[in-house]
């Protein structure tokens, strides 16, 4: 049975309208400079695994239905939105989109907003060594050097930096440092020894050249009476 031409045309129009509606449901509107929704502060770059708080507001005609964050967690408490990015793109940058589903108070209209973020992701942390609170190394006798933790190069190049070592974190027993050796991860096989409790001039020179966060190994040879110790530690140095 043939369908009349006017009915066929009507069915075709209905299909086209249906497809357009389906496509609109997938369209996300950028959140910047919109009167329907407002987010502050206007950050574009986030540090991985850090928590950020945003004040969020929508016009009186709308309510927020849901937040979705591609790489991490987004939670809402009244007018406060908390975001914790979690990317595995170690040692580089990543992107993630915050998606907000908003519906009108009358429930007749749904709008989809999005905001794109850049995420700074540091190098992947190496496993912590067991019993890490013994044989503690200090820089300039001020700050303990924790394994895989990042430190400013200023602490290692300003003045005449020196190294001290303690038996553990509950004792004032200090070892006499006989030698400090610096080895840069990026220059395999290159080591800069000092034969003293200070960093060698060559080590300081190499540290000053660093432009990006770089893993650095520190070997300390120390002695307390007849007891001798040789301790390796690994940290990350960055330029301020």
Tell me: the pLDDT tens digits for 132-152?
Answer: 477 889 999 888 898 889 999
**Domain definitions of the chain by residue range:** 29-121, 134-238
Tell me the average pLDDT of the chain: 83
Question: Which backbone phi and psi does 10 adopt, to 5 degrees?
Answer: -65, -45
Q: Does 108 have pLDDT greater than 90?
A: no
- Mean pLDDT value across residues 41-60: 92
Label residue 218 by pLDDT band (50, 70, 90): very high
Say what the pLDDT of residue 21 is: 42
Say what the pLDDT of residue 163 is: 93
Neighbours of 176 (CB within 10 A): 13
CATH class of 29-121: mainly beta
Say what the pLDDT of residue 127 is: 59
Our CA angle for 61, 67, 69, nearest 5°, is 145
Q: What is the DSSP letter of 161?
A: -
Q: What is the pTM of this model?
A: 0.44
Say what the pLDDT of residue 15 is: 47
Do 29-121 and 134-238 show the same overall fold?
Answer: yes
* Of 153, 230, 162, 224, the residue nearest 196 (C-alpha): 162
CB environment 29-51: b (16+ within 10 A), e (fewer): eebeeeebbbbeeeeeebebeee
* Of 41, 72, 68, 71, the residue nearest 56 (C-alpha): 41
Q: Does 129 have pLDDT greater than 60?
A: no
Tens-place pLDDT, residues 163-197: 999 887 777 778 999 999 999 876 666 889 999 99
Say what the pLDDT of residue 177 is: 93
The answer as to CATH 3.10.590 being correct for domain 134-238 is no
- Mean pLDDT value across residues 16-34: 62
């Amino acid at each position: 049975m043939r369908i009349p031409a006017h009915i066929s045309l009507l069915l075709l129009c209905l299909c086209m309208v249906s497809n357009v509606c389906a496509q609109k449901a997938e369209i996300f509107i950028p959140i910047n400079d919109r009167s329907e929704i407002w987010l502050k502060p206007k950050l574009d770059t986030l540090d991985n695994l850090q928590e950020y708080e945003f004040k969020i507001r929508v016009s009186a005609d709308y309510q927020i239905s849901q937040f979705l964050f591609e790489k991490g967690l987004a939670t809402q408490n009244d007018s406060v939105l908390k975001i914790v990015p979690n990317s595995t793109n170690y040692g580089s940058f990543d992107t993630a989109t915050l998606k907000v589903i908003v519906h009108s108070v009358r429930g007749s209209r749904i709008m989809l907003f999005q905001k794109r973020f850049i995420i700074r992701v540091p190098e992947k942390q190496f496993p912590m060594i067991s019993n890490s609170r013994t044989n503690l190394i200090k820089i300039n006798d001020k700050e303990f050097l924790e394994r895989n933790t990042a430190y400013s190069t200023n602490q290692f190049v300003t003045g005449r930096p020196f190294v001290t070592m303690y038996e553990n974190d509950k004792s004032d027993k200090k070892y006499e440092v006989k030698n400090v050796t610096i080895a840069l991860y990026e220059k395999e096989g290159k080591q800069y020894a000092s034969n003293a409790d200070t960093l060698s001039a060559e080590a300081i020179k190499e540290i000053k050249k660093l432009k990006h966060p770089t893993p650095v190994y520190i070997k300390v040879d120390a002695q307390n009476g007849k007891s001798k110790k040789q301790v390796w530690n690994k940290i990350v140095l960055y330029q301020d």
